[in-house]
Structure 1
Amino acid sequence: MDKITRKTSFGQWFSPINMKLFNEQVKTKKLDYYTKKLTTDSLLKLLLFAQLQEVESLHALGDSLFDQELQKGIDLEAISVSQLSRRINKLNPDLFQRLFLDLVGQIHAKTHSAKLVMPLKIIVSSTLPLNLTNHRWAKFRKTKAGVKLHLRLVFMEKGESYPEKAVITTAKEHDRGQLEVMVDDKECMYVFDRGYLDYERFDRMTDEGYFFLSRLRKNAVVREVYNFQIQDDSTVLSDQMVLIGTTQNRAENYFRLIKVMDSKGNELHLITNRFDLSAEEISEMYKSRWAIELFFKWVKQHLNIKKFYGQSEWAIQNQVFIALIVFCLHVLVQMETKSKRKTLQISRYLRAALWKPAYIWLRKIEGKAVP
């Protein structure tokens, strides 16, 4: 990130977005053909602004353009709600997904030198509710509609993580169906919860050389093969080699079952195919899964993802990918400035200095006095 700049804070924050890739996609897909006013470039910037400022509706977003600084920043003076709605509902989300993946690539490049020996990748999903009347295509219960965001997050440190891969389906899609889509790297450790339990897939992952850690249901049928010794002062209750499943539905491989107590006094049954680490190390790995709770709390509370602007499937996906782009841009700022500030604090500073010179925002993030 070039700190010697005359850009506004918004322009500097926005700068990691690959505009060459963006312009190529706009040209190839002919996204600006017959567009006189609301270009795809202006739409992208306007939607990023909307996510930052948590704008509650398209009407409120249109009204925001009374601000001359915003007009200048996105090269748009005014737009009708109908034009906004039409563009959001009909724009192929592949464009924003590509921009998101490009930002992920930039984060990877910056973390490569400090890459862990066995990085943790957390697989999780979250259901985002929709109004059934306006989103019949997303019906998954008699009176409910929704989409499910399936994510693979890379765990960094101190509870921080960033999204690496995202798949959006209707809410009726079961988590297990996405596990194979999310598992494609043998140089990491996958952590996921009980919604992904599938003995046959556990066998296949083990045979193919993938490492995983998950929770096992307490009523699961387990046959103990060997009891590992645990230290007297350990928080681990037991550490065993086991076979899991019934005669009709049993995994073929041996797995490791570790029982631990969580911070609330609940007993957790952790299942893994890693035998080379201590039980304490395995337990700590599972605790890293709480990073996703922080991530989804941030997304749901601060990226306006509960209030969707459009009704089509594409509109929903566009807004989700915009939210992920916003998060990645914050992570890149955090990494570039080597700031210890949380992404939420970085976002607050940005909103306060949106149209001010970028150096003001950057110095604030870095904890330096602003002249």
Structure 2
Amino acid sequence: MDKNTLLSSFGKWVSPINIQRLSKQVEHLKQDYYTKKLTTEAYIKLLLFAQLHELESLHAISDALLDEDLQKTLGFESISASQLSRKTNDLKPEILSTLFLDLVTKIQGHHHQSKRNMPLKIIDSSTLPLNLTNYKWAKFRKTKAGVKLHLRLVFMDQETVYPEKATITVAKEHDRNQLEVLVDDKEAMYVFDRGYVDYERFDRMTDDGYFFVSRLKKNAVIREVESFSLPDDCTVLSDKMVYIGTTQSRAENLFRLLEVEDTKGNILRLITNRFDLDVEEISEIYRSRWAIELFFKWLKQHVAIKHFYGMSETAIQNQIYLALITYCLHVLIQLETKSKKTLLRISHWLKAAIWKPAYIWLRRFEQKTST
């Protein structure tokens, strides 16, 4: 990053990107051969600017270069939509995937240990719809196309949540198939919804020493082995040790089944292989699953993934990774400043002061304003 860029709020925001490491990977993959102007570094900066401002098309990104400060940051005065399109379709997604994981490592180095004995890791997916006419390779229903973002989100507390691992597939890929990819840390507590229910995998996770809380489907067959007593003031309805599944398809291990009532009065059946936690703790752990719903909502509302810049699988993956990188950069500035401000407020301030000296942007974090 050049000195002038680092003096701006935008430069401060993107400064966690390890340009030296990025350059080595770009060189190794021969990504910038024959590239005179739109290098991978310049492309990433420009597309992060587009994510921040939720620009909906390559033409809109091209037009944004009328901004002289953006020109100085990138080192050129203009770029055509066709050049942007070629780069979007040619850039190997592994470059942005590596950049995303590098930022995740930086986040992990920033945040403090949670009060929990184990970090809470929430697994879920979100489908991003596509037009079937233009994205036939992503067809998953008769008249629909789409891709699916499978995600593992770390929940430290209500202020600190961040994506830790992501895979991108076509929408017809079943969630259960990604569970083993997203579960790889025995020092964590995993939370996922009933779309991931798989008795054989529950057995395998338990035998391998992974801990989880999930929700059983309504038609799940259970056989009670023992019922545990509950405190008088407990909000949990029941606590049992059970076998799950039918005689033909049954889990071998014993599990713990809790019945809880949600905010709408519906009865939820929670299954876990943790017998050492009290019922309220398990109930609270599952309630934390809302964090990933809020994350997907934030992603769809506040970065540029409602409209995709290209029609290839590569273009789609690159844009999703850029959205995740945008989120991680917001989290990093939040952690660095020890701010309780929302990511949305941080983003709004950044856009308002984007080419002003970084201290003007950072000074807002110290002021007592509503979040």
Q: Percent identity?
A: 68
What's the CA shift for 1:112?
Answer: 5.2
> Bigger CA drift: 67-76 or 287-296?
67-76
Q: Using the alignment, how far apart are the partners of 1:148 and 1:37 within structure 2?
A: 33
Matches within 5 A, 1:174-185: 174-185=174-185
Match of residue 88 from structure 1: 88
> Does the alignment pair 1:122 with 2:125?
no
Q: Using the alignment, how far apart are the partners of 1:101 and 1:199 within structure 2?
A: 31
Match of residue 263 from structure 1: 263
Q: Using the alignment, how far apart are the partners of 2:193 and 2:6 within structure 1?
A: 47
* AA partner of residue 10 (structure 1): F
Q: Using the alignment, how far apart are the partners of 1:169 and 1:347 within structure 2?
A: 29
Query: Is the CA contact 1:349–1:365 (under 8 Å) kept in the aligned structure 2?
Result: no
What's the CA shift for 1:366?
Answer: 2.7
Q: Using the alignment, how far apart are the partners of 2:40 and 2:189 within structure 1?
A: 39
Q: Using the alignment, how far apart are the partners of 1:19 and 1:114 within structure 2?
A: 31
Which SS does the other structure have where 2:12 is aligned? Answer: helix
Query: Is the CA contact 1:16–1:103 (under 8 Å) kept in the aligned structure 2?
Result: yes
TM norm structure 2: 0.96
Which SS does the other structure have where 1:236 is aligned? Answer: coil
TM norm structure 1: 0.96
What's the CA shift for 1:30?
Answer: 1.5
Consecutive unaligned residues of structure 2, counting only runs of 5 or more, are none
Q: Using the alignment, how far apart are the partners of 1:176 and 1:298 within structure 2?
A: 24
Query: Is the CA contact 2:185–2:210 (under 8 Å) kept in the aligned structure 1?
Result: yes
Query: Is the CA contact 2:256–2:272 (under 8 Å) kept in the aligned structure 1?
Result: yes
Match of residue 98 from structure 1: 98
Q: Using the alignment, how far apart are the partners of 1:216 and 1:186 within structure 2?
A: 22
Query: Is the CA contact 1:224–1:242 (under 8 Å) kept in the aligned structure 2?
Result: yes
Query: Is the CA contact 2:159–2:340 (under 8 Å) kept in the aligned structure 1?
Result: no
What's the CA shift for 1:113?
Answer: 4.7
Matches within 5 A, 1:1-371: 7-111=7-111, 113-114=113-114, 116-158=116-158, 160-367=160-367
What's the CA shift for 1:76?
Answer: 2.4
Q: Using the alignment, how far apart are the partners of 1:135 and 1:361 within structure 2?
A: 40
What's the CA shift for 1:159?
Answer: 5.7
What's the CA shift for 1:48?
Answer: 0.1
* AA partner of residue 91 (structure 2): L
Which SS does the other structure have where 2:121 is aligned? Answer: strand
Q: Using the alignment, how far apart are the partners of 1:161 and 1:168 within structure 2?
A: 20
Q: Using the alignment, how far apart are the partners of 1:80 and 1:199 within structure 2?
A: 53
Which SS does the other structure have where 1:140 is aligned? Answer: strand
Query: Is the CA contact 2:150–2:168 (under 8 Å) kept in the aligned structure 1?
Result: yes
* AA partner of residue 293 (structure 1): E
Query: Is the CA contact 1:338–1:366 (under 8 Å) kept in the aligned structure 2?
Result: no
Which SS does the other structure have where 2:118 is aligned? Answer: coil
What's the CA shift for 1:109?
Answer: 1.2
* AA partner of residue 42 (structure 1): A
* AA partner of residue 51 (structure 2): Q
> Bigger CA drift: 171-180 or 135-144?
135-144
Which consecutive segments of 4 or more residues in structure 1 shift more than 3 A? Answer: 112-116
Q: Deviations over 1:313-342 (max 9, x none)?
A: 110000000000010011010101000001
What's the CA shift for 1:16?
Answer: 0.3
Q: Using the alignment, how far apart are the partners of 1:40 and 1:200 within structure 2?
A: 44
Query: Is the CA contact 1:123–1:191 (under 8 Å) kept in the aligned structure 2?
Result: yes
What's the CA shift for 1:114?
Answer: 5.0
What's the CA shift for 1:70?
Answer: 1.1
* AA partner of residue 67 (structure 1): D
Query: Is the CA contact 2:127–2:146 (under 8 Å) kept in the aligned structure 1?
Result: yes
> Structure 1's 6 and 130: CA in aligned 2 closer, same or farther, altered over 3 A?
closer
> Structure 1's 50 and 271: CA in aligned 2 closer, same or farther, altered over 3 A?
same
Q: Deviations over 1:76-113 (max 9, x none)?
A: 21011111101101111110000000000011111255
Q: Deviations over 1:185-233 (max 9, x none)?
A: 1101000001100000000000111001000012211111100101111
What's the CA shift for 1:116?
Answer: 3.8
Which SS does the other structure have where 2:285 is aligned? Answer: helix
